Structure 1
């Protein structure tokens, strides 16, 4: 284990681990212990555990020390512990509220670190002065932060709090493994496919395969067949782009080291190829992030990737408490409960007197309006509606965006 002695009655840290943890480095400072470790199925990680000072002046120095040390810890890291500070008015309950200016320092520090707070389950006020009178004060002094890379590796991570009678601080328990069954990834039409040679031939061949049944069934089967064909075709280059970026970057580094003998044509062609690969990666993550307020080229793929991961974590349903106070925390239990709830909600128990009530409601749709509504829709009207849709917003259940139908309109329009 690693130990940092307290100063008087303040501070002090102890970090222990078992034989399942392989420790590479241990760094002990007056207010933190940082370890580089590896575990089964977990990439090499830096974990830092802090106990910051109650003095604002000393805390500012400690923030600077953490900012400096972060550059040595790499991209896969998390930091948690007692920060002895808050960053919003919601982090304190009781007595006199703190001024906004007094919280600005901690907010600026967390922004500079470029880390995201790990979501917390349980009582968010992790410290209490234990004065159960009018002088009661509760604050969120303990929390954890993680880098984008760490959050990508642990998308379901969370911190739970546990109140200890012997301490004025709650215990923080970091959960990094997902206890729920992994769901099958959902298909989504990849915008980058349109830039690849052969995509039109693959799509046309799959779409033109003979199908039989009702018009709607034929359309559904053609979309399904095309989706499977595109998946099979794209499997060979699914990770090709990232490998290409890594290889071209190494190649350019080597050419730069030997610039006196560099083949400049080779340099220029490699640079153009690398730029195209970066562009392709950016397009992919922009589509995944569904960021409408930025255009392609405004930012890099790292931003879009982080935005996507954050949006997925925010939208994830990790547990549900039923009306019987039963906690559902596995994917199957959550899915079953939601299905049962809405099945019961939308089940009719019969009605009485509906016809007589409907007769009293005046008709809003005239005969002429009804004729217009029943009129056969022509090709130009369908095309105008389709091309008015945003190409990449909200794909349907089949995973096909409007971009797919817009790009292959000439092929698919007979069935549509």
Structure 2
């Protein structure tokens, strides 16, 4: 078989392909690591198979494939969805609309200086510090963006993100889509089968989380 040295152009092509493959491998590993919820291993540990097994185990544990309601077993997916939705509608609904009154007389107040300090504009450092304090690999909300995205791409997104935070601080308004939330039901222990045995967790979008924490 004939063999020869690669030309400079071929060497560059080979180098480019190797770099692209390494980037793809790192991206795949990061994806499975994030899905696996394993936070005690660092990105770059090259445990893609392990992360995949952990993600599969989490998915199996969290899957609701049957419910028992008043002694009757429910296995149909649509019926399970309807049953859980009705259960939490009852849990979070109020039979009465009455609210206790609140008398503001003789309540302690803050000084004008303290008020101005609380209403001051947020600096870039404050917002960035909020992002740095958040775990980058927590499950993302509806927009699919984790905090790692904002940490890595801060220089690119900071202008738009700061505008959102400042706009909410001044007008107390933001796009309705920012408040879109996924509600995930997590079993409290293995073998849970009744609606009350599941714990609802809100997967809030990153922009909403940053805005809320920066303002409060």
Band the TM-score falls in, shorter-chain normalisation:
0.5 to 0.7
User: What aligned pairs does 1:207-226 form with structure 2 within 5 A after superposition?
Assistant: none
Distance across 2 between alignment mates of 1:274 and 1:336: 45
Computed over aligned residues only, the root mean square deviation of the Cα atoms, in angstroms, reads: 3.5
Q: Is residue 415 from structure 1 mapped to residue 164 from structure 2 by the alignment? A: yes
Q: Is residue 390 from structure 1 mapped to residue 135 from structure 2 by the alignment? A: yes
Mapped contact 1:395–1:401 kept (Cα < 8 A): yes
User: What aligned pairs does 1:109-188 form with structure 2 within 5 A after superposition?
Assistant: none
Mapped contact 2:33–2:43 kept (Cα < 8 A): yes
Mapped contact 1:386–1:402 kept (Cα < 8 A): yes
> Aligned-pair distance for 1:374?
5.7
Q: Is residue 261 from structure 1 mapped to residue 3 from structure 2 by the alignment? A: yes
User: What aligned pairs does 1:36-51 form with structure 2 within 5 A after superposition?
Assistant: none
Out of 325, 331, 353, which is 2:71 matched to? 325
Partner of 1:37: none
User: What aligned pairs does 1:295-306 form with structure 2 within 5 A after superposition?
Assistant: 295-306=42-53
The 1:385/1:347 distance shift into structure 2, 3 A limit, reads same
Superimposed CA distance per residue, residues 102-136 of structure 1 (whole angstroms, 9 cap, x where no aligned partner): xxxxxxxxxxxxxxxxxxxxxxxxxxxxxxxxxxx
User: What aligned pairs does 1:8-407 form with structure 2 within 5 A after superposition?
Assistant: 261=3, 263=5, 266=11, 269=15, 270-322=17-69, 324-350=70-96, 354-355=100-101, 366-368=108-110, 371=115, 375-380=119-124, 381-406=126-151, 407=153
> Aligned-pair distance for 1:314?
1.2
**If each structure's strand is expressed as a fraction of its own residues, which one has the higher value?**
1
Distance across 1 between alignment mates of 2:28 and 2:99: 60
Bigger Rg, structure 1 or 2 = 1
- Which sections of structure 2, spanning at least 5 residues, go unmatched? 166-216
Distance across 2 between alignment mates of 1:325 and 1:352: 35
Distance across 2 between alignment mates of 1:385 and 1:268: 42
The 1:348/1:278 distance shift into structure 2, 3 A limit, reads closer
Mapped contact 2:39–2:137 kept (Cα < 8 A): no
Mapped contact 1:320–1:334 kept (Cα < 8 A): yes
RCO comparison, higher one (Cα < 8 Å, 6+)? 2
2:137 partner SS: coil
> Aligned-pair distance for 1:330?
2.6
1:321 partner SS: strand
- Which sections of structure 1, spanning at least 5 residues, go unmatched? 1-257
Count residues in correspondence.
Answer: 151
Mapped contact 2:34–2:139 kept (Cα < 8 A): no
**If each structure's helix is expressed as a fraction of its own residues, which one has the higher value?**
2
Superimposed CA distance per residue, residues 252-284 of structure 1 (whole angstroms, 9 cap, x where no aligned partner): xxxxxx6x7264665963555443332232222
TM-score calculated relative to the size of structure 2:
0.55
